[in-house]
Structure 1
Amino acid sequence: MKNAHILVIPYPAQGHVMPLMEATRCFTSNGLKVTFVNTEFIHKRLTHACLDIDCLGDLMQMVSVPDGMEPCDDRNEHGKLAETMFQFMPTKLEELIIDINKNDDEKITCIAADCYMGWVLRVAQKMDVRLALFCPSSTAVLAVTMSLKKLMDDEIINKKSGVILKDQKVQLSTSMPLMDPANFVWACMGDPITNQIFFDYLFLEGKEAAEAADHIICNSSMELEPGVFTLFPKMLPIGPLLATNKSARQIGHLWNEDSTCLTWLDQQPACSVIYVAFGSITIFDQLQFEELALGLEDTKMSFLWVVRPGTSDNLDYVFPPDYIDRIGSHAKIVSWAPQQEVLNHPSVACFMSHCGWNSTIEGVSNGVPFLCWPYFADQFVNKTYICDIWKTGVGLNKDETGIVTRGEIKSKVEQLLNNTLKENALNLKEKVADSCVRGGNSSNKNLNTFIEWLKEG
Structure 2
Amino acid sequence: MSLSGLDGIPGCHVVAIPYPGRGHINPMMNVSTLLASKGLAVTFVVTEEWLTLIGSGLESFPNIRFRSIPNVIPSELTRGSDFAGFFEAVFTKMEAPFDQLLDGLEQPATCIIADTFLPWTIAIGNRRNIPVALLWPMSPSLFSLHYHYHLLVAHGHQPAPLENFSGGYSLNEFLILIVRSKTPIRYEVLKLFSFASQKGKMRS
TM-score, normalised by the number of residues in structure 1: 0.36
Counterparts of 2:151 and 2:179 in 1: how far apart (Å)? 12
More helix by share: 2
Give 1 or 2 for the bigger CA radius of gyration: 1
In structure 2, the gaps of 5 or more residues are 1-8, 167-173
The alpha carbon displacement at 1:125 in A equals: 1.6
Find out whether 1:83 has 2:81 as its counterpart. no
Matches for 1:202-221 after TM superposition, within 5 Å: 202=200, 204=201, 206-208=202-204
In structure 1, the gaps of 5 or more residues are 158-163, 175-179, 190-194, 209-457
| Alignment check: 8 A CA contact 1:16 1:114 kept | yes
Q: Secondary structure at the match of 2:16?
A: strand
Give the alignment partner of residue 94 of structure 1, picking from 91, 95, 99: 99
Cα deviations across residues 183-211 of structure 1 (Å, max 9, x unaligned)? 64x7349xxxxx74x44222x2x322xxx
| Alignment check: 8 A CA contact 2:112 2:132 kept | yes
Give the alignment partner of residue 60 of structure 2, picking from 44, 49, 55: 55
Q: Secondary structure at the match of 1:36?
A: strand
| Alignment check: 8 A CA contact 1:93 1:123 kept | no
Counterparts of 2:104 and 2:154 in 1: how far apart (Å)? 44
Cα deviations across residues 323-370 of structure 1 (Å, max 9, x unaligned)? xxxxxxxxxxxxxxxxxxxxxxxxxxxxxxxxxxxxxxxxxxxxxxxx
| Alignment check: 8 A CA contact 2:73 2:93 kept | no
- Structure possessing the higher relative contact order (Cα contacts under 8 Å, 6 or more residues apart): 2
Give the alignment partner of residue 73 of structure 2, picking from 69, 75, 91: 69
Counterparts of 2:142 and 2:136 in 1: how far apart (Å)? 9
The corresponding residue for 2:131 is 130
The corresponding residue for 1:35 is 43
The alpha carbon displacement at 1:89 in A equals: 0.9
Report the number of matched residues. Answer: 180
Q: Secondary structure at the match of 1:31?
A: coil
The alpha carbon displacement at 1:137 in A equals: 0.6
Cα deviations across residues 425-452 of structure 1 (Å, max 9, x unaligned)? xxxxxxxxxxxxxxxxxxxxxxxxxxxx
The alpha carbon displacement at 1:37 in A equals: 0.9
- Letter in structure 1 aligned against 2:198: D
Q: Secondary structure at the match of 1:207?
A: coil
Structure 1 ranges of 4+ moved more than 4 A = 70-73, 165-170, 180-184
The corresponding residue for 1:115 is 116
The alpha carbon displacement at 1:69 in A equals: 3.1
Q: Secondary structure at the match of 2:203?
A: helix
TM-score, normalised by the number of residues in structure 2: 0.75
Matches for 1:151-190 after TM superposition, within 5 Å: 151-156=152-157, 164=159, 167=165, 169-171=174-176, 182=187, 184=189, 187-188=191-192
Matches for 1:274-423 after TM superposition, within 5 Å: none
Counterparts of 2:29 and 2:132 in 1: how far apart (Å)? 18
The corresponding residue for 2:140 is 139
Cα deviations across residues 31-71 of structure 1 (Å, max 9, x unaligned)? 111111112222211125x26xx4212x3111111352366
| Alignment check: 8 A CA contact 2:74 2:86 kept | no
Q: Aligned pair in 2 of structure 1 residues 27, 83: CA closer, same or farther (>3 Å)?
A: same
